[in-house]
Structure 1
Amino acid sequence: MNENAQNAVSKYSKRNLLSGLLFGIGFAAFIDEVVFHQILRWHHFYDKSTTEIGLISDGLFHAFSWFATIGGLFLFADLRRRNGLWLQKWWGGVFLGTGFFQLYDGTIQHKLMRVHQIRYVENIFIYDVIWNLIAILLLLIGFMLIVRARKGEVGFK
């Protein structure tokens, strides 16, 4: 790899990862909010108060998801414009961000802070197991993509 390519790798590698992470976190939050809060109505972002407060918290959560997603896409567009987009690294970041959000939600928000649960049923255990196993799978895919990008040929697209 020539010196210019090496400089591009070091210059844009972290930015590709950050763009993917932001997009992945925002995307996961968006899907969580739309599917579990709005469509299935299993919970609100904050369930320790009235329904009205729960809806307000959902709105703020939805805004956060859009800010993260759009921020990630702005970085993505900048990487493309600079010819520094490294798709495999970016997708690794997307999976890491999605998995991180899911695991954070399932462990910190659901169990530690108890701001809400996945679903309010008698036996929540199976929901927790599936939620967190999906998070771990997403994280593993993300790590695998990033390791493969690091080991493989650098290919900015």
Structure 2
Amino acid sequence: MRPVDRAALVLGLGIGGFIDGIVIHQLLGWHHMLSGWYPLTEVHLMMVGDGVFHLLCLLLVLAGVAMLNRRPPMPNAVLGGGILTGWGVFNLVEGLVDHHVLGVHHVRHGPDQLVYDIAFLVTGAVLVVAGVLVSRSKRLTAARSS
């Protein structure tokens, strides 16, 4: 048995991206998708980069919903655990690739940017562990009762 449902994982990837984009890009204004490569004064470019990012997040959410629609219903804990895991995987991949490998942006530019980048990765790892534990706890409970 898989510890996390694939459809819930894909849904979580998209939701995690939306949370990142809405909270960090828009509400806090700490960075934009391309703010490590171009100056923040390039407002149009920042908006286009964030827009493409949000479009990709939307496609992930729609793919996750379509995948959920094609499978039998699952317990809420399995769905929630999968979404948490997907969100965590998003943070880990986005954090490693965009912040460290490509340098597209950092969580928060400035003297403490490495601290913020590492905190983002740690948050991703915690979300993955929490999601797997939530999913497994429901599966283990179901297996014991049958």
* Cα drift, residue 90 of structure 1: 2.1
Q: Distance in 2 between matches of 1:35 and 1:89?
A: 26
In structure 1, runs of 5+ residues without a counterpart are: 1-9
* Cα drift, residue 17 of structure 1: 1.1
Higher relative contact order, chain-length normalized (CA < 8 Å, sep 6+): 2
Larger Rg: 1
The equivalent position to 1:46 in structure 2, one of 31, 34, 57, is 34
Aligned residues: 139
Q: Distance in 2 between matches of 1:53 and 1:34?
A: 17
Q: Give the TM-score taking structure 2 as reference length.
A: 0.82
Helix, strand or coil for the counterpart of 1:142? helix
Structure-to-structure mapping, 1:63-74, within 5 angstroms: 63-74=55-66
Percent identity reads 24
- Dislocated runs of 4+, deviation >4 Å: none
In structure 2, runs of 5+ residues without a counterpart are: none
The equivalent position to 2:79 in structure 1, one of 90, 96, 103, is 90
Root mean square deviation, CA, Å: 2.2
* Cα drift, residue 144 of structure 1: 1.2
Q: What amino acid does structure 2 have at the position aligned with 1:71?
A: A
Q: Give the TM-score taking structure 1 as reference length.
A: 0.77
Q: Distance in 2 between matches of 1:72 and 1:97?
A: 10
Q: Does 1:31 align with 2:22?
A: no
